[in-house]
Amino acid sequence: MKLVLRALSPEVLSLAGLAGFLLDLLLAGLLVFALVDRLAPPQDLPWKPFSLDQPIGLATAGKLARIGADPVACRAALREGGVRFAEGETRETGFCSTRNTVRSAGRLVPAAPVMTCPLALGYALWERQVLVPAAREIMRSRLTRVDHYGTYACRTIYGRPGERPSAHARAAALDVAGFRFADGRRATVAADFRADDAEGRFVQAARHGACRVFGTVLGPDYNAAHRDHFHLEEGGWNKCA
């Protein structure tokens, strides 16, 4: 063997060494991947299936975007999560549309507003993984109702002529105004956003959690037009204000 190695040129030996190093590197990478795949939470791994029962993690936003882009996969995720829904009616009026919309069950009042499937999926995750636990931990009560101002409105931003279409013009945004609990208490964006009490902490927790789910979240810190509600939008500008 030593005679064979001596007979090989330095270039061949160098290539053999490089190949061995790359093989070791590949094996080490596969080992690390296997450990991460086994030990890391599924919500942190983009290749793991999405579930509404998983807490919000590092890969959740990407999974929502991917599933939301596929109408079939979006509806399948709602069904697998136990969310009851009906198909929304498709309407087309100028720049306004209700394509790919559903009316899903939940704690929203008025009930079952029309919204795009991706928005419905994001809302279901927010309600289940943010609002319900926050109500239990902060309010020491059960969340019973989420009050909102609507989803679909055929208009431009702020209703101004010449502005670009609002996300509401395609039922891709939800305006949440407040929350109600089993013990009779209420927490509203208008009254409690800056309050230093349980209601205020709940509203802030709701906003913080929304920023991890929705592409755009606008509230009282953004401008006066949002002083009494959170604008929750699928996609959008990746803005939390």
User: What does the pLDDT look like over 16-45, one tens digit per residue?
Assistant: 666 666 666 666 665 555 654 655 798 999
In a shared domain, residues 89 and 190: yes
In a shared domain, residues 181 and 129: yes
pLDDT at 141: 98
- How far is residue 241 CA from its own chain's centroid? 16
Q: Is 108 left (phi over 0), alpha (psi -120 to 50) or beta?
A: beta
Q: Indicate whether this model's pTM tops 0.75.
A: yes
In a shared domain, residues 60 and 157: yes
In a shared domain, residues 81 and 28: no
- For residue 146, the enclosing domain spans 46-240
User: What does the pLDDT look like over 55-80, one tens digit per residue?
Assistant: 999 999 999 999 999 999 999 999 99
CB 88 within 8 A of CB 134: no
